[in-house]
Structure 1
């Protein structure tokens, strides 16, 4: 026969199997919000962050003499067990739950309180350690959850930064590798002046390096917490000395110097920090999407497309067309961006809030966390399964550059635009290169035209300035 225990809350009594690690309020939340199948335990680091706060609060309350030492020790031990290895089944609250995160906070309060009771009394039931009175002492859901969100995201952004740096290093290596590959530039998807493939990759690299600065900026925002604000920002429910003590303990536990928000009312009411974070994630995803889309275009073909580069073949591309290979890794990257973009839209709405508390924090955390997780996972896949193995079709690239009508820009630079326009029209009408038309019209000698219309010369100021500074006769 299953051993049961009786629990009580403001709505009444409930019999729970004694094997459960959580209590009555968690059980109600489990039954009320079975909507997504994704629980608070599925958000990497979130349960751990709340447990760190509970541990810090117990130590702080013990230090200032309002929580018995034995009770604090039991809470700390229980919190340490959660921090070390949270059991997913103990945290069944769906991430989509109402109440501004109350169910998530109470889930931790109950799990830690029940375990602390067991440590002190040998049984899970009883009020030796009460989830509200003792575990939640000096706290409110309204300050615990946004504080835990920031602690969680602070760590996650660090992981994202490391993966982004590694990806940038891969791009930098390809930039060097492709420094001598001259190709046609394209604007409005039409032929433009030549560049090197290395220069093109330098643009991808530089854009992502800028995102590192942005990641650092928003990560610093996560260091200011509303912890000790309690319900509405007045700090009511805390005891003298609690606030400095809880921040000292939390910083020691996490190894990170977290500090109180300058204004707790702002910290509870306004969620614009999450819009800033989501915007940076969107910006990073946007640049990855641009790179992925460009790789698809440049590798298109391979016989009837641009075919400037060749992407690594990682799997067959068709169930009906033998030999077809698709750019599946870039296509995966682009889908990740679409999801990040959708998450950003959700965060924007959820950050609107009202009055003295933003109650949509569960959605905000879920969206931000998912975007970070997707980016953290996609970056090394993109690097190893695509970027590392890209090969340049140097001959195709150079041929496209030489045959482009955009080479008539050389004539416009050395002579005038009208003459250049005439050259371009003749080249198009007669199916000739600009170089051939220039020679045929006697504008330049064959030797001079070959030098001046070398696509490589046009890719670097030091090359074309030295050449074009000479008087052309």
Structure 2
């Protein structure tokens, strides 16, 4: 055990831990959720990269000695590459705008740097506040680390979305010739191909990937250098420029200072935009999953347009029942993202010169991102990849639809088409049968113009309409 002191007193710390008294107090105060700051992908690494770049910058402006710099950089690199999760145990829910998290990292690096220089933990040669936190404040460190973390996670989400869109594109090609009945307001509408329907899904997820990429680009602007409230007080001349040079060199990413540090520290509306991109993605996933549940309903008394792959038995009492469990999982992801979006929106309200709810913002953002990053490839593997079109059922529904009367409205007028649809409904006949029996079209004309496949392509229909079958 070793004893550490602060303004409130002292605490004994097990010597196997590199963190210190402020981390210990935070453990006593905030351990409620079971989710720690180390559970957020890349968050600790982002904080360590910031501390490493700050040390390099402070050395460059002659505020930090050679040995101190060497020890701090070595300590940071060790933890970046070793992921000693036990050293960063704080609950993600914490008051103080993330001060506990910032001090956790400061203490870990200071104790390890001292150990490197002196052979023992302590703060004689490197102090957590004086040296590790030099030219910094929790208020610029935490939001900057959040943005670096988000840049990495949104990059992973963008890749997942592009792969998912490509998988939808494969199904679009596979289903190109499967004609089915379109539905609006859950009622029969004009026919389209299953491939055309999937082209809509593909296009939407490609658009979502572009949306994610756009908000990700704004993660490159950081408030580092603003210190406590945006005035840059506490920094040395040349520090800010040196910091961004070091951070960009070390990460290979061109980070820049935000145009207005006061804005960067006061306002968190950026995270509403990020959350909106996640919510949009989740909403599209929900739409696709919900559609597949409907299209795969049955198999004998539902739409039965597609057959979802069976991945597990569907009932503990009904043999042979298979449930759409993968789409249902995805829909629940959507619900969770919606809840996180509301929490992020409220947490972005803040007050005066600082937003102190950033830990919650990060937790909600991270959870939504991880759920989507994990769900998309699983959805492709377990559902999309082995999805089968029921061509016979699709064709039967398309050919029997009263919506084919739209062809008659196009060729004649709406009243004539309405009469045809009404008679077909009353007599239990198809539109094809009624128009031939009534003499509106010959058998040849009806067979060609009322072919559902023709209605899926304006070029095919226009060619027939303007050619020999013009009426």
- Shorter-chain TM-score bucket reads over 0.9
Q: Is the 8 A contact 1:5 1:125 kept in 2?
A: no
Candidates 113, 118, 122, aligned match of 1:121: 118
In 1: Cα distance, 2:318 partner to 2:236 partner:
72
Q: What's the CA shift for 1:442?
A: 1.2
Q: Output one character per residue of 1:317-375: Cα deviation in whole Å (capped at 9) or x when no partner.
A: 00100000000000001100110111100000000110000000000000111111000
Q: Is the 8 A contact 2:110 2:123 kept in 1?
A: no
Q: Output one character per residue of 1:235-286: Cα deviation in whole Å (capped at 9) or x when no partner.
A: 1111111000000000011110000000000000011110000000000110
Q: Is the 8 A contact 2:182 2:192 kept in 1?
A: yes
SS in 1 for 2:11: strand
Corresponding residue for 2:367?
A: 370
SS in 1 for 2:385: helix
Candidates 344, 357, 360, aligned match of 1:360: 357
SS in 2 for 1:222: helix
Q: Is the 8 A contact 2:408 2:416 kept in 1?
A: yes
Is 1:381 aligned to 2:382, yes or no?
Answer: no
Written as runs of structure 1 = structure 2, the 5 A alignment for 1:187-266 is: 187-266=184-263
Candidates 58, 82, 87, aligned match of 2:84: 87
Candidates 297, 306, 310, aligned match of 2:307: 310
In 1: Cα distance, 2:159 partner to 2:14 partner:
44
Written as runs of structure 1 = structure 2, the 5 A alignment for 1:38-437 is: 38-437=35-434
Length, aligned pairs only: 470
Q: What's the CA shift for 1:20?
A: 1.6
Q: Is the 8 A contact 2:175 2:389 kept in 1?
A: yes
TM superposition outliers: structure 1 runs of 4+ over 3 Å: 470-473
In 2: Cα distance, 1:156 partner to 1:447 partner:
59
Q: Is the 8 A contact 1:53 1:250 kept in 2?
A: yes
SS in 2 for 1:47: helix
For the aligned residue pairs, the C-alpha RMSD in angstroms reads 0.8
In 2: Cα distance, 1:5 partner to 1:197 partner:
68
Candidates 29, 36, 40, aligned match of 2:26: 29
SS in 2 for 1:60: helix
Corresponding residue for 2:10?
A: 13
Written as runs of structure 1 = structure 2, the 5 A alignment for 1:441-460 is: 441-460=438-457
Q: Output one character per residue of 1:91-141: Cα deviation in whole Å (capped at 9) or x when no partner.
A: 111000000000000000001111001001101124211110110001000
Q: Output one character per residue of 1:204-247: Cα deviation in whole Å (capped at 9) or x when no partner.
A: 01111111211111001100000010000011111111000000
In 2: Cα distance, 1:18 partner to 1:205 partner:
55
Q: Output one character per residue of 1:19-51: Cα deviation in whole Å (capped at 9) or x when no partner.
A: 222100000001100110100000000000000
* Greater displacement, 81-90 / 133-142: 81-90
Uncovered stretches (5+) of structure 2, i.e. residues with no partner: none
In 1: Cα distance, 2:70 partner to 2:132 partner:
11
Uncovered stretches (5+) of structure 1, i.e. residues with no partner: none
Q: Is the 8 A contact 2:464 2:470 kept in 1?
A: no
SS in 1 for 2:435: helix
In 1: Cα distance, 2:345 partner to 2:150 partner:
17
In 1: Cα distance, 2:449 partner to 2:329 partner:
43
In 2: Cα distance, 1:68 partner to 1:442 partner:
98
